[in-house]
Chains A and B, each alone.
Chain A
């Protein structure tokens, strides 16, 4: 059986709506956070879990990390049911909530790590080995004696990640780990996740809104929307399915040249050149090129695929999210 087995998982919450005018009591509303979600994940996979805000991603992570109990369905992680025997189960998992902190604010991070060692009952030799390995991979060496409050956001995220992995969990749930990080920190974090996944075969479930993260790390993605699973497969195929438009930036030798093009191509003035958007399915690139050349000598030209964020936004729109 697969390492993670989820079948027909569902969870709903009751929230109270704002009181409507003329009514005495506030009405309750049921939000279906997860509806009949099923998937399998193998040991050692690095999976992206995406979807717009409120899609149910965090709910899934909370159920799989034993914090929430679902209303229905099954889940097995490494042969254990997350919400039964919470204490025993969580010994085997690691979690990073990108927007929350687990390390202590006012004490050096090394001391927070010692506390985590005691909490997870990691033997001293194993702890030292793992700590050395992680501090090297995450480049934390000089920061160990610094209180958390003095670290930058990027340093803090690296420190948090180290804390979540000290007990060498079989699986790591990452909930938006790159939120607010600069480019260098993001790249370093990605390198590290790849390393941890390869070196220890740690299964990683990555929840994020950063499509670059997904593209860089995950061979497989699952898309969630309105509590339902909408897609499960390779990122390439997903992109292929929705990646239908190309953008051409073109500048002619002479100003003011306007090529005659079919209606399916959108034309926009951009500085002293033109920006065209076309769909290769409707108009072959070769035909477009021919039309462009007829209009006059071309000075320069670039063809770009659609920006991945736009693509995902298109996809969400098409899926009705």
Chain B
């Protein structure tokens, strides 16, 4: 167990070293947030939508704040898989899936926390109609935090599956671009999932992508009422378990047919 904790801590520390990247990320995501909100404000001014504007701005800020959790991968890890540096990890007395899971978890956790905190402070200072609203209630906040944690576990499991595929194709770029697009659309990063038509909602909220950030945000804004919360958390947990098991299976199969190329 110590090995996994240790690699987790190591990756956390590494993430804190790139302060320039954090600053750059914060500025970039704030910029994106402001632009998106300006667009929604224009849209609402022309034709008011069913959803209150404050919900949309809150949704946008939370998405932007935790952008790093969804759409970023451990470049060093990907490189290792691509170039064969993974040979070293195969000679370690550790469970490879767990070892990488701990690493990905640390990167996503620290990477998004470092960016989310300053951004949320910034968004809270903005005037109404631009900034982030308070959570629906204190229990709603607590539940959304729990859901965020589950969402994080879910993303990490997904990322580990991507890694397992990278090991087969050796070049992650093609399908990573495709997966990222899927992620952008289906996680609500591009357009809040709450704005999709009602007839879509039941499908789109059941997919794994909705478990990552959309579910915690809806708990925060009160879109999901408190009595719905257990069901939401259960769905999140279910998907996380499924994705982890799938990833483990893929890694196991990979290990069996593994060839590290070149000298």
Q: Which residues of A are in contact with B by a Cβ distance under 8 Å?
A: 13, 53, 57-58, 62, 65-69, 86-88, 90-91, 93, 95, 97, 99-102, 104-107, 111-112, 114-115, 118-121, 175-176
Q: Which residue in chain A gives the minimum CB-CB distance to B10?
A: A115
| Residue B13 at the chain A interface, CB threshold 8 Å | yes
Give the docked Cα–Cα distance between A111 and B5 (Å).
14
Q: Which of B90, B259, B263 contacts A175 (CB 8 A)?
A: B263
The secondary-structure label for the interface of chain B is helix
Contact string against A for B residues 81-107, beta-carbon threshold 8 Å, 1 for contact and 0 otherwise = 001110110111111000000000000
Shortest beta-carbon distance, A293 to chain B, in Å?
50
In the complex, what residues of A have CB within 8 A of residue B92's CB?
Answer: 90, 119-120
Instruction: Give how many A-B residue pairs fall within 8 Å (CB-CB).
Output: 79
Q: Which residue in chain A gives the minimum CB-CB distance to B94?
A: A119
| Residue B7 at the chain A interface, CB threshold 8 Å | yes
B93 & A90 in contact (Cβ 8 Å cutoff): yes
B87 & A62 in contact (Cβ 8 Å cutoff): yes
B85 & A68 in contact (Cβ 8 Å cutoff): no
In the complex, what residues of B have CB within 8 A of residue A69's CB?
Answer: 256
B94 & A87 in contact (Cβ 8 Å cutoff): yes
In the complex, what residues of A have CB within 8 A of residue B91's CB?
Answer: 65-67, 90, 93, 95
A106 & B14 in contact (Cβ 8 Å cutoff): yes
Q: Which residues of B are in contact with A by a Cβ distance under 8 Å?
A: 2-3, 5-7, 10, 13-14, 17, 76, 83-85, 87-88, 90-95, 256, 258-260, 262-263
Q: Which of A68, A115, A176 contacts B6 (CB 8 A)?
A: A115
In the complex, what residues of B have CB within 8 A of residue A57's CB?
Answer: 263
A87 & B95 in contact (Cβ 8 Å cutoff): yes
Q: Which residue in chain B gives the minimum CB-CB distance to A14?
A: B259
In the complex, what residues of A have CB within 8 A of residue B263's CB?
Answer: 53, 57-58, 99, 175-176
B90 & A104 in contact (Cβ 8 Å cutoff): no
Shortest beta-carbon distance, B73 to chain A, in Å?
16
Shortest beta-carbon distance, A150 to chain B, in Å?
13
B10 & A104 in contact (Cβ 8 Å cutoff): yes
Q: Which residue in chain B gives the minimum CB-CB distance to A179?
A: B263
B2 & A118 in contact (Cβ 8 Å cutoff): yes
B14 & A67 in contact (Cβ 8 Å cutoff): no
Give the docked Cα–Cα distance between A102 and B76 (Å).
12
In the complex, what residues of A have CB within 8 A of residue B10's CB?
Answer: 104, 107, 111-112, 115
Q: Which residue in chain B gives the minimum CB-CB distance to A175?
A: B263
Q: Which residue in chain A gives the minimum CB-CB distance to B13?
A: A107
Shortest beta-carbon distance, A267 to chain B, in Å?
40
In the complex, what residues of B have CB within 8 A of residue A105's CB?
Answer: 76
Shortest beta-carbon distance, B3 to chain A, in Å?
4
A106 & B17 in contact (Cβ 8 Å cutoff): yes
Give the docked Cα–Cα distance between A177 and B14 (Å).
27
In the complex, what residues of A have CB within 8 A of residue B258's CB?
Answer: 67-68
Q: Which residue in chain A gives the minimum CB-CB distance to B85?
A: A100
Highest count of chain B CB atoms <10 Å: which of A62, A65, A91, A119: A119
A102 & B93 in contact (Cβ 8 Å cutoff): no
With known contacts A68-B258, A105-B76, A114–B14 Cβ distance under 8 A = no
Give the docked Cα–Cα distance between A95 and B85 (Å).
12
With known contacts A115-B6, A119-B94, A100–B13 Cβ distance under 8 A = no
**Listed A/B pairs (7) with beta-carbon separation below 8 Å:** A66-B90, A68-B260, A100-B83, A107-B10, A107-B13, A115-B6, A115-B10
In the complex, what residues of B have CB within 8 A of residue A175's CB?
Answer: 263
A115 & B7 in contact (Cβ 8 Å cutoff): yes
Q: Which residue in chain B gives the minimum CB-CB distance to A67?
A: B90
Q: Which residue in chain B gives the minimum CB-CB distance to A87?
A: B93
Highest count of chain B CB atoms <10 Å: which of A53, A93, A118, A121: A118
In the complex, what residues of B have CB within 8 A of residue A99's CB?
Answer: 262-263
In the complex, what residues of B have CB within 8 A of residue A102's CB?
Answer: 85, 88
With known contacts A99-B263, A100-B88, A91–B93 Cβ distance under 8 A = yes
Shortest beta-carbon distance, A203 to chain B, in Å?
16
In the complex, what residues of B have CB within 8 A of residue A121's CB?
Answer: 2-3, 93
In the complex, what residues of B have CB within 8 A of residue A13's CB?
Answer: 259
In the complex, what residues of B have CB within 8 A of residue A111's CB?
Answer: 10, 13
Highest count of chain A CB atoms <10 Å: which of B5, B83, B84, B90: B90
In the complex, what residues of A have CB within 8 A of residue B256's CB?
Answer: 69
The list of the 6 closest CB pairs from A to B, nearest first, reads A118-B6, A102-B88, A119-B3, A91-B93, A118-B2, A67-B90
Q: Which residue in chain A gives the minimum CB-CB distance to B95?
A: A87
In the complex, what residues of B have CB within 8 A of residue A67's CB?
Answer: 87, 90-91, 258, 260
Give the docked Cα–Cα distance between A88 and B93 (Å).
6
Q: Which of A58, A100, A107 contacts B14 (CB 8 A)?
A: A107
B94 & A95 in contact (Cβ 8 Å cutoff): no
